[in-house]
Amino acid sequence: MALAIKGLPTCTSIDMGGPAAMTAYIYAPQANLSVGGGGSDTYDTVGAFFVGQITFGGHINFHFDEQLARTGPTIGYSPLMWKEVQ
């Protein structure tokens, strides 16, 4: 699944049940994002989430798509660094 969401200021909650392998870009800075986990895929989610708060449930592998920082939508923000959570 490929997904792009640009949330309006009234978008305060996004719930993505899982497990599902997906490529996603979400820009909803006022939203709380909940992503379901599970499964044993090593390719669960690829993309970028710009949200107020995120909650991952269960097992999920997330890969930040570095190309989005260079060619993705211009929104005034770009990540300077991130740390992989082990």
Q: What is the pLDDT of residues 25-84, one digit of tens each?
A: 888 989 999 887 766 666 677 888 889 998 877 777 777 777 766 665 555 556 666 777
How far is Cα 40 from Cα 42, in angstroms, rounded to an integer?
Answer: 6
Residue 13 confidence (pLDDT): 95
The model's pTM = 0.68
Which pair of tokens denotes residue 26? 């979400």
Cis amide bond preceding 79, omega within 30: no
Environment class of 36 (CB within 10 Å of its CB; exposed 0-12, middle 13-18, buried 19+) = middle
Q: Where are the domains of the chain?
A: 2-71
How far is Cα 53 from Cα 31, in angstroms, rounded to an integer?
Answer: 7
Residue 5 has pLDDT above 60, yes or no: yes
Residue 71 confidence (pLDDT): 61
Residue 54 confidence (pLDDT): 86
Which pair of tokens denotes residue 31? 């939203």
